[in-house]
Structure 1
């Protein structure tokens, strides 16, 4: 009897699914459905003209020299104006993510044992870190710099520079090798690292090491958090609009050495448990000749900054604890702030990427709730109709769980983000690129696919980048940090209760 009662509900849900699918195709192809009948009527009407009618029409207009000259001239002028004013296309030629040597990896047990050996933490806080690790979504092979990985820890400026050089040069060497581009051909360099800003800057470190040309446009972004990678892409996009035929190199990383917290403030200890060593280098171009070999084309960037709100501004904050030790505290409001920032960001992004069918449903629901005061749930647009792949900043398991719920994504869409968190931890602004290379290694990127990168960072910021695949990626020809072990993924990450 229970099965008979459930059957009608199942049939109703199936019917609603296909009704919505039919509605989506109807709205998406409305232009064709209108134009094709009009074209048919026009052709049918034209077929009624006789040869004499056409000759008469020609005779009536053949001496109108002004029209004959002005019309083509106007068309040429408008076409020239269009091509001169349209933005330059920005291509992602290739990218590389740094994979540290195996001796820098550490298990969760090794992390806890190292924390005990430092004698900097109370027994209560060692237990607290252990619980955080168990609930973090991180695996047993994440990487630490030597200054933290080996005992005794040695967090000094010299070690921080070594970590930065190892990560940045490793990623840049690989991307230059993959693309065959000479370092001296790079005209634009943008480097972002939130927590390490030495003098000379990290960008100057790269200019010196690779002997870049004297007129290179070099920028160093600091203190902008985990969303700075998308900010760097957005900055390069604007620079490539005014510098034709240029290569731009984006280097995105974070530095662990000088930002390892050695105190006992629990809100600051969380970052020790989540952040790990990593970085990426991305080569972009606006040269039309690079389109045929580039992997992706940049479609949109949307930046959202909620820093005007005090709660948003203070939810990720670098400060001193009661003992004057510096750390980054994470507020309990972080998830709520991230949700509000995401909502604001997709409100801007949605009209740019969503099909008209989804926009109409969202608008109709908004009118019903705001004007007619109907008590119905806000309509959540189906972003799976706009994107084939999602790269969501792997800041932590709770962040990914919240976005999975809010955007109504299934495990397949969340897999690149969850596996990146599991294998590499939170690598800050570079996490999006580990996620993209995971998707490539799985052989999922097909020509024409659309990718949405979503990044969150202190400030508080939520930034998006939308890419379109220009080719089908063959994983057997790829070199990235996942290739040698991609057959081991995905792995099951058990769900655990929230920490009290």
Structure 2
């Protein structure tokens, strides 16, 4: 008698489907381990070659006749002058190398500003306020609503106090108040966490793109904390969201010149006087993305600070595409047809950012990628040139060079594009997406909120490498590479302290 098995057909179907997929799965696993084996072999090729050589030398030395060694010693005694000259040259060369080599720059600690809760803005508040101002048409209000829904921002981002009024009150005094709250809030936290006295600061670099009052923002900090009179202070303006890396680079260069001192970098942006109240859609996007935020970073070139520092600066690579007219004007502050000022974002922005990224990683790659990836890249490039093939060039695996990625949270499209182009996994862009969701686009300081997220999750281990990458007007793409000097714990009163357990959250796309 035949017996029918309930669901048997489905079970057989699943079994057949799995059996067909199994060889493909095994093939992918084999290719993965082949690549890992290749990477390990090439990376350790020098060691694998030197070990047998050293063993051979030791065996040969053990078989050497003692009379030969005595003869060699007598020969050196008779050539004392040559020995002294060679020793002097060696000592001189070593001294020059030690004095001329770049001094290590340590990141002692940093602090990100956490605005008060009453500055949070929900989506419905944003839309209600925009409607009640009377400055926007129905079509542009709908446009802003769609941008908000697709932006990747959450409901807990912050806008300055002046934007919470009806009508808004964007004045010079309100802009100064926003700047003071952000900068002084971050610096107070930094000085509290590190116990550094403001008088010990020898270098101060402040970057803020759109708000440059007189006296400058750096002068406001000097006045507030009564910094010393011979401090080297700099104020960077108009350099966009990538200015934070530029400020780090400037501070690092100054630390190569001025010995045994501290440098403080303050990265922020000011929204109060730069809210756009017109109907040009290309100028409305910043309203929907930019939010209040800032960071203060303490750098040192003192060797004794290595023990308590979190990171060591490894590389800074800067790319400027300003010579190209399209790149120069893709992020442009201007007045619209009715004279209202705002920042216009070009439709070519993502393509230009991709080109700047390509140039930047072409320079960065040889500095950070293992030799195995460099050989693969060079081999495919050579084959393409010789065979004149139109095949895409090999994209190096930057996951072999970095453990953590801090991609500027400029918007969902920016993060998506880099995730795709660099072939990253979701966990590699988690910090960027969650920073965008929780704090919005905080301009040049966003990469520090992302680093704080990684630390708050307990993922930063000794020896880990971090890639901070930011884009900005001009057009610029800048990278900073840091190496963790210890298992890094989050700082006290960090921006994620009371909410890290809620993340990651699923972002609606």
Verify same fold: TM over 0.5.
yes
Q: Which residue of 1 aligns with 2:353?
A: 338
1:62 lines up with 2:77 in the alignment: yes
The aligned residue for residue 47 of structure 2 is 32
Partner of residue 485 from structure 1, selected from 477, 494, 499: 499
Are the aligned partners of 1:441 and 1:478 in contact in 2 as well (CA < 8 Å)? no
Conserved? CA contact 2:276–2:342, under 8 Å: yes
Distance in structure 2 (CA, Å) of the matches to 1:218 and 1:264: 39
Do the aligned residues in 1 keep the contact of 2:193 with 2:492 (CA within 8 Å)?
no
**For residue 362 of structure 1, what is the aligned residue in structure 2?**
377
> How far apart, in 1, do the equivalents of 2:240 and 2:71 lie?
72
Match of residue 470 from structure 1: 485
Which of 67, 72, 77 in structure 1 is aligned with 2:92? 77
Deviation by residue 1:255-300 (Cα, 9 ceiling, x = unmatched) = 0000000011111111100000010000111111111111111111
- Structure 1 segments, 4+ long, off by >6 Å, are none
- SS in structure 1 of the partner of residue 314 of structure 2: strand
Of 320, 325, 339 in structure 2, the residue corresponding to residue 310 of structure 1 is: 325
Structure showing greater Rg: 2
* Alpha-carbon offset, residue 78 of structure 1: 1.5
Q: Is the 8 A contact 1:391 1:454 kept in 2?
A: yes
Greater Cα offset, 301-310 or 373-382:
373-382
Question: CA offsets per residue over residues 103-127 of structure 1, 9 Å max, x none?
Answer: 0001111111111111111111111
| Counterpart secondary structure, 2:270 | coil
Q: Please tell me whether the aligned partners of residues 191 and 202 of structure 1 are also in contact (alpha carbons under 8 angstroms).
A: yes
* Distance in 2 (alpha carbons) for counterparts of 1:256 and 1:278: 10
| Matches of 1:445 and 1:415, distance apart in 2 | 14
Q: Secondary structure at the match of 1:371?
A: helix
Match of 1:188 among 180, 199, 203: 203
* Range with bigger deviation, 267-276 or 9-18: 9-18
Correspondence list, 1:13-162, <5 A = 13-162=28-177
In structure 2, the residue corresponding to 1:369 is in which secondary structure?
Answer: helix
The equivalent of 1:498 in structure 2 is none
> Match of 1:440, SS?
helix
CA shift for structure 1 position 75: 2.2
Structure 1-normalised TM-score? 0.97
- Structure 2 unaligned spans of 5+: 1-15
- Counterpart of 2:283 in structure 1 is 268
Match of 1:454 in 2: 469
Equivalences for residues 358-437 of structure 1 within 5 A: 358-437=373-452
**1:15 to partner: Cα distance:** 1.1
Instruction: Please name the residue that 2:307 is paired with.
Output: 292
Quote the residue 2:455 is aligned against. Answer: 440
Cα distance in 2 for partners of 1:69, 1:265 equals: 77
In the alignment, the residues of structure 2 paired with residue 352 and residue 436 of structure 1 have an alpha-carbon distance, to the nearest angstrom, of 22
Q: Distance in 2 between matches of 1:134 and 1:234?
A: 36
Displacement of 1:184 in angstroms is: 1.2
Q: Which 10-residue stretch deviates more, 458-467 or 70-79?
A: 70-79
Confirm or deny: 8 A CA contact 2:112 2:448 kept in the other structure: yes
TM-score (norm 2): 0.95
| Per-residue deviation, 1:484 | 1.4
Query: Separation in 1 of the partners of 2:163 and 2:428?
Result: 34
Distance (Å, rounded) in 2 between the aligned partners of 1:6 and 1:485: 42
1:234 and 2:249 aligned = yes
